[in-house]
Amino acid sequence: MGPIITALVLLISSFSIWFGVAEAKETRPNILLIVADDLGYSDIGSFGGEIATPTLDKLAKEGLQLTNFHVLPSCSPTRSVLMSGMDNHQAGMGTMGEFKTPEMESHPGYVGYLNLEVAALPEVLNASGYHTYMAGKWHLGHEKNTRPHARGFEETFALLPGGGSHWSDMKPLSPSQTMAYSRNGKPVESLPDDFYSTTYYTDVLLKFIDQNKEDGKPFFAYLSYTAPHDPLHAPKEYIEKYKGKYDVGWDVLRENRLQSLKDLGIIHKDAKPFPRLASVKSWNEMSAEERAEAARDMEVYAAMVDYMDEQIKRVFDYLKEIGQYDNTMILFFSDNGANGHLPTAYPGQTEEYLNSFDNSLENRGLPNSYIDAGPGWSQASMSPSRMFKAFTSEGGIRTPMLVKLPGKTTHAGTMNHSFFHVRDIMPTILDFAGVTHSEQFDGRKVRLMQGRSVLDLFEGKVATPYAEASQVGYELFGLKAYFVGDWKILQMPKPFGTGEWELFDLKQDPAELNDLSEQHPEKRQEMIARWDQYKIDNAILDISLDLSK
The mean pLDDT values, 10 residues at a time, for the chain of 549 residues are 38 34 58 98 98 98 98 97 98 91 88 96 97 98 95 98 97 95 96 98 98 95 98 98 98 98 96 95 97 98 98 98 97 98 95 98 98 98 97 98 91 94 98 95 94 97 96 97 97 95 96 98 98 97 70
Dist CA 307 CA 311 (whole Å) = 6
Query: What range defines the domain where residue 290 resides?
Result: 30-537
Which pLDDT value is given to residue 547? Answer: 59
pLDDT at 22: 34
What pLDDT sits at residue 7?
A: 38
> Does 10 fall in a domain?
no
Determine, yes or no, domain membership for 523. Answer: yes
3-state class (DSSP) for residue 441: strand
Given this model, what pLDDT does residue 5 score? 38
φ/ψ of 372, rounded to 5, equals -145, 165
How many distinct structural domains can be found in the chain? Answer: 1
Predicted local distance difference test score (pLDDT) of residue 100: 85
Between CA 475 and CA 392 the distance in angstroms is: 8
CA distances from 43 to 175, 300, 441 (A): 30, 13, 39
Residue 265's region, left for phi above 0, alpha for psi from -120 to 50, else beta, is left
The per-residue pLDDT for 408 is: 80
Give the whole-angstrom CA distance, residue 368 versus residue 199: 18
Q: Please give the helix or strand (H or E) that residue 206 lies within, else none.
A: helix 197-211
Listed in sequence order, the residues at least 6 apart from 222 whose beta carbon sits closer than 8 Å to its beta carbon are 33, 35, 122, 132, 133, 134, 135, 136, 153
In CATH, what number is assigned to the domain containing residue 145?
3.40.720.10
Q: Is residue 543 part of a domain?
A: no
pLDDT at 120: 98
> Does 372 reside within a domain?
yes
Q: Cα–Cα distance between 163 and 147 in angstroms, integer?
A: 16
CA–CA dist 279, 376 (Å, integer): 9
* Active site amino acids: 75, 139
E-strand stretches of 14-137: 30-36, 64-66, 69-70, 131-137
Q: Residue 4 domain-assigned?
A: no
Residue 121 lies in a domain: yes
152 Rama sector, left if φ>0, alpha if ψ -120 to 50, beta otherwise: left
The DSSP 8-state label assigned to residue 387 in this structure reads S
* 49, 377 contact by CB (below 8 A): no
User: Residue 265 domain-assigned?
Assistant: yes
In the Cβ-directed half-sphere of 416, how many Cα atoms lie within 13 Å? Answer: 24
Task: Give pLDDT, residue 99.
Answer: 85
pLDDT of residue 17: 31
Whether residue 17 lies inside any domain: the answer is: no
The Cα 395–Cα 383 span in angstroms is: 8
